[in-house]
Chains A and B, each alone.
Chain A
Amino acid sequence: DQQVKQNSPSLSVQEGRISILNCDYTNSMFDYFLWYKKYPAEGPTFLISISSIKDKNEDGRFTVFLNKSAKHLSLHIVPSQPGDSAVYFCAAPSSLMNNNAGNMLTFGGGTRLMVKP
């Protein structure tokens, strides 16, 4: 059962335009979400996060929007740059053993973003 889903495996965008990466989740207990960026041969790098008490969080060119009723979040990159080309993962923390203890991230399948010059 995939609790975090990224339905678009890839996205191609022209440099300077907006990139919108989407993520859906099924577990209503998730109350915090993170976006990671991953280049080939490197580990994922934390990008931006959002708590469920907010519906938007912005950091420079990156903005994450959360729609709790739709169980949907999106990452907007404006303007997109060729260096943004990477795989983007959304993730939610959860714990299998006890209430809110531990660090376990459930990841979506990732979206490969290609920004063309």
Chain B
Amino acid sequence: KAGVTQTPRYLIKTRGQQVTLSCSPISGHRSVSWYQQTPGQGLQFLFEYFSETQRNKGNFPGRFSGRQFSNSRSEMNVSTLELGDSALYLCASSLARGRSYEQYFGPGTRLTVT
């Protein structure tokens, strides 16, 4: 079974631009979560989508948004990029059946904002 895939793997943007990251979950997984990893803040939860609906949201500004498609693929968007948005963005998928807490992570997208 193919794992979680994320595209692109690396991205360089300039301040003020916007960016869209893509995530394809493991086949059959209906929940997709996004996390931001930075050296100073560690791994922080951004949001979770389930059946095309945002089910949970972390403490991030409205510049961070996402969506999920009917095939469970998900995208996240960051508008008006700031230098502090430079981070590794990780996508994770899970079965979301009952209390299934195991999440399977993709390799991440390394975003650099200059």
Contact = CB atoms under 8 A, between A and B. Distances in A.
Contacts of B75: none
Contacts of A46: 102-104
Given A42-B107, A44-B105, A102 B50 contact: yes
Contact of B4 (A32, A43, A93, A103): A43
A16 B99 CA distance: 36
Contact of B55 (A32, A93, A101): A101
Interface stretch (A19-27, A69-77, A106-114): A106-114
Contacts of A42: 107-108
**Tier of interface size on chain A:** 20 to 34
B48 to A, nearest CB: 6
A104 B4 CA distance: 17
Contacts, number: 75
Contacts of B45: 104-106
A100 interface: yes
A102 B103 contact: no
Nearest to A41: B107
Given A44-B90, A103-B33, A97 B105 contact: no
Nearest to B9: A41
Most buried by A among B31, B48, B50, B58: B48
Nearest to A32: B101
Main secondary structure of the interface of B (DSSP, over half): strand
Nearest to B94: A103
A18 interface: no
B17 to A, nearest CB: 24
B71 interface: no
A40 to B, nearest CB: 10
A60 B100 CA distance: 22
Interface string A74-117: 00000000000000010101011100111111111110000000
Given A43-B4, A43-B108, A103 B103 contact: yes
Contacts of B33: 103-105
A45 interface: yes
Contacts of B4: 43
Given A34-B101, A103-B101, A43 B106 contact: yes
